[in-house]
């Protein structure tokens, strides 16, 4: 009973690492929910179960906090991207996997979408200052390049495509649908995040890209929808 000091009357415990993580997690939520200007330092502190002073002690000011969150977000996606193995799949299947991964990652990490939107509204002012993020190259472009090359060789794909453009397009198809689902849902008068709608969207994206790459429109567009009953009035953007 010498070391086991039963006297646990402490008002608080030390936990620097844990505290830092809680702060960053809270900051991620706050920044993705309210943007940079809309985020409240006090709310982050409260959410982290900490004192406001702790943010400055462990991370820095609001901007530092924001950048740390952003870097963490990039770090996470890069890490998961590296886990995707497309080498052993035949080219069309590899492309499908790629789209599905992107789609699901965005679905599972909505804060990532918000953070990117926020950073783009800020014209990437912070990213530009982050050597860390600049050095975090995504493996996807090279993966795509390899898949396209194989596809052309195997005859699956009649022609080659610029892998950078293709990657941006795949990201675009997924990203826009999800990041703009709020306004789109209002405009179209239906919930784009409903389970059916999401499945339909994924099928469409895969169909579109594979049809373009393989030239097999028909086979892939099994998405040919019979005009829905009560067909919604047409609306856009």
Partner DNA sequence: GGAGAAATTAACCCGTTGGATAAATACTGT
Partner DNA sequence: ACAGTATTTATCCAACGGGTTAATTTCTCC
Find out whether 107 and 178 touch, Cβ atoms under 8 Å.
yes
- List 61, 137, 191, 194, residue binding its own copies (CB under 8 A): 137
Cβ-based neighbour number of residue 215 at 10 Å: 13
Q: Measured between alpha carbons, how far is 61 from 65 in angstroms, rounded to an integer? A: 6
- List 79, 187, 194, 199, residue binding its own copies (CB under 8 A): 187
If the CB atoms of residues 91 and 163 are measured against its own copies, the closer one turns out to be 163
Q: Which residues, 4 to 63, sit near DNA by CB under 7 A?
A: 9-16, 19, 39-42, 50-54, 56-58, 61-63
# binding residues, DNA (CB under 7 A): 24
Q: Which residues, 60 to 99, sit near DNA by CB under 7 A?
A: 61-63
What are the φ/ψ torsions at residue 88 (nearest 5 degrees)? -95, 5
The full DSSP string for 49-105 is: TS-HHHHHHHT-SHHHHHHHHHHHHHHHHHHHHHT---TTS-HHHHHHHHHHHHHHH
- Encoded tokens for 156: 């699956």
- Encoded tokens for 117: 């939107």
- Least separation in angstroms between CB 212 and its own copies: 4
47's CB contacts (< 8 A; 6+ apart) are 26, 29, 30
Q: Which residues, 14 to 43, sit near its own copies by CB under 8 A?
A: 34-38
Q: Measured between alpha carbons, how far is 216 from 208 in angstroms, rounded to an integer? A: 10
Q: Which residues, 69 to 128, sit near its own copies by CB under 8 A?
A: 74, 77, 81, 114, 116-124, 127-128
Q: Which does 34 bind (CB under 5 to 8 A by kind): its own copies, DNA, none?
A: its own copies
Q: Measured between alpha carbons, how far is 24 from 115 in angstroms, rounded to an integer? A: 13
If the CB atoms of residues 52 and 97 are measured against DNA, the closer one turns out to be 52
- List 159, 191, 194, 199, residue binding its own copies (CB under 8 A): 159
Q: Which does 16 bind (CB under 5 to 8 A by kind): DNA, its own copies, none?
A: DNA
- Encoded tokens for 176: 């826009």
Give the range of 20-28, 43-51, 60-68, 229-237 binding its own copies by CB under 8 A: 229-237
Q: Which residues bind DNA (CB under 7 A)?
A: 9-16, 19, 39-42, 50-54, 56-58, 61-63
């Amino acid at each position: 009973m010498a070391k086991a000091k039963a006297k646990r009357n402490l008002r608080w415990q030390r936990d620097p690492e844990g505290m830092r993580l809680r702060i960053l997690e809270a900051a991620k939520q706050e920044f993705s929910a309210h943007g940079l200007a809309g985020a409240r330092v006090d709310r982050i502190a409260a959410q982290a179960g900490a004192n406001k002073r702790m943010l400055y002690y462990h991370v820095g000011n609001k901007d530092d906090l924001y950048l740390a969150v952003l870097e963490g977000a990039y770090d996470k996606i890069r890490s998961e991207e590296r886990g995707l193995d497309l080498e052993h799949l035949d080219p069309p299947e590899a492309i499908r996997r790629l789209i599905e991964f992107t789609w699901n990652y965005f679905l599972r990490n909505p804060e990532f979408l918000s953070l990117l939107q926020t950073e783009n509204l800020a014209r990437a002012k912070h990213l530009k200052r982050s050597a860390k993020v600049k050095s975090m190259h995504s493996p996807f472009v090279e993966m795509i390049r390899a898949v396209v090359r194989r596809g052309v060789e195997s005859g699956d794909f009649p022609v080659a495509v610029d892998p950078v453009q293709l990657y941006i397009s795949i990201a675009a198809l997924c990203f826009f649908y999800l990041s703009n689902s709020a306004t789109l849902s209002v405009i179209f008068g239906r919930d784009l995040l409903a389970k059916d709608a999401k499945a339909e969207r994924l099928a469409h994206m895969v169909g579109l890209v594979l049809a373009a790459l393989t030239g097999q429109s028909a086979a892939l567009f099994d998405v040919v929808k019979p005009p829905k009953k009560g067909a919604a009035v047409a609306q856009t953007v």
